[in-house]
Amino acid sequence: MIWILDITLLLFLVVCAIAAISIKDLLSAVIILSAYSLIMAIVWVEMQSVDVGFTEAAVGAGITTVLFIATLARTEGRSED
Amino acid sequence: MSGIQESIVIRTVVRIMVPFIQIFALYVIMHGASGPGGGFQGGVIFGAGIILYAMIYGHKEGKQRMSDKLNRILSSSGVAIFAVTGISCLVFGGMFLQYGVVPLLPDNPAVVSRLLIDVVEIGIGITVLAVMISLFFDVSPPETDEEELPASEEAGQ
C-alpha cells in the first residue's frame, strides 16, 4: 500500500464525482464519469481486488460510456437544471 | 459522426484491432476460473469489440455481422447452456451447479468440475455479448444515408 498514491487517487475521485454532477454539458459529464470509472478501477486494483477492477474498467469505462454517448446523440445534450 | 467514420486511419486501426480484442476476450473467459476475469467480463470485452466495429463501419455493416436474429439466438442459447449444465448436475443426483457429480470422467471429478465451470463461463459470455450488442443497436441513433461527403474536409487537405 502506497498511501500517497491512495490519497491522490481518492482526491481525483472526489473531484471527478463533483464535476460530473455539477457540469451542465452532458457530453462532458459522460466523459468525466468515464474518467471517474477509470480511477475507480485503479483504486480497486490498488485494494487487491483485481476482478472487481477488471469489471469496472470493462463495464464502467467502456460499455457505459458508449451507451451514454449513443443516448446523448438522440437528445439535445444539455441539462436544464 | 460521419467525419470520424470516413477517416482511413480509424477504419484501418479498428479493422486491425478487433480480432485482438476478441482473442483477449476469449482468454479472459477461459481464465475466469483460475485468475481475474470470467464470463461476464469476457463477454463485455467481446461485445465491445463488435460495438467498436459497428460504431466505425456503420449500423448496416455491423448488422451484417451481428443481425438481430443472431443476437436473439445467442442471448437465449447462452442462458440455455447455463441452465442445461446446472440441471444436468441435478439429474445426476447433486445440487444445482454441483459439477463433480456429472460422470464424464468417473475417476476424476475435479477435472469434470473444472471443465464444466468453463462451459458455464462460455454460456454467460455468449449471453452477455449478445445483450450488450443489442443494447447498443437499440440505443444508438438510426443512421442517415451518407450520400453527401463533407466538402470542407476535402478542401482542408
* Domain range annotation of chain B: 2-141
Predicted confidence band at B15 (pLDDT cuts at 50, 70, 90)? Answer: very high
Q: How many CB pairs under 8 A join A and B?
A: 42
Most A CBs within 10 A among B27, B140, B144, hence the mutation to make, goes to: B140
Is pLDDT of B152 > 70?
A: no
- ipTM for this prediction: 0.83
Q: What integer pLDDT is reported at residue B60 of this predicted model?
A: 85
Nearest to A70 among B41, B48, B140 (CB): B140
Q: Are B45 and B128 in contact (CB under 8 A)?
A: no
Tell me the HSE value of B121 on the side-chain side, using a 13 A CA sphere: 23
- Residues 6 or more apart whose CB falls under 8 angstroms from that of B130 comprise B47, B70, B71, B72, B74, B75, B78
Average pLDDT, integer, range B132-142: 87
Q: How far is CA B32 from CA A73, B4, B40, B96, in A?
A: 35, 35, 9, 20
Among the ranges given (B75-84, B102-111, B125-134), the one the predictor scored with the smallest mean pLDDT: B102-111
Give the pLDDT score at B35: 81
Assign B151 a pLDDT band (cuts: 50, 70, 90): very low
- Say whether B36 and A70 touch across the interface (CB within 8 A): no
Higher pLDDT, B3 or A52: A52
Average confidence (pLDDT) over B101-111: 82
Q: Min CA distance, B92 vs chain A (Å)? A: 32
Q: Give me the pLDDT at residue A37, please.
A: 94
Chain B CB contacts of A71 under 8 Å are 139
Handedness of CA B138, B140, B144, B146 (dihedral sign): negative
A52 versus B1: the higher-pLDDT residue is A52
Mean pLDDT on A25-45: 92
pLDDT tens-digit profile of B74-83?
A: 999 999 999 9
- The cell for B57 is 463501419
pLDDT of residue A64: 92
- pLDDT, mean over chain B: 84
Residues in chain B within 8 Å Cβ distance of A59: 44
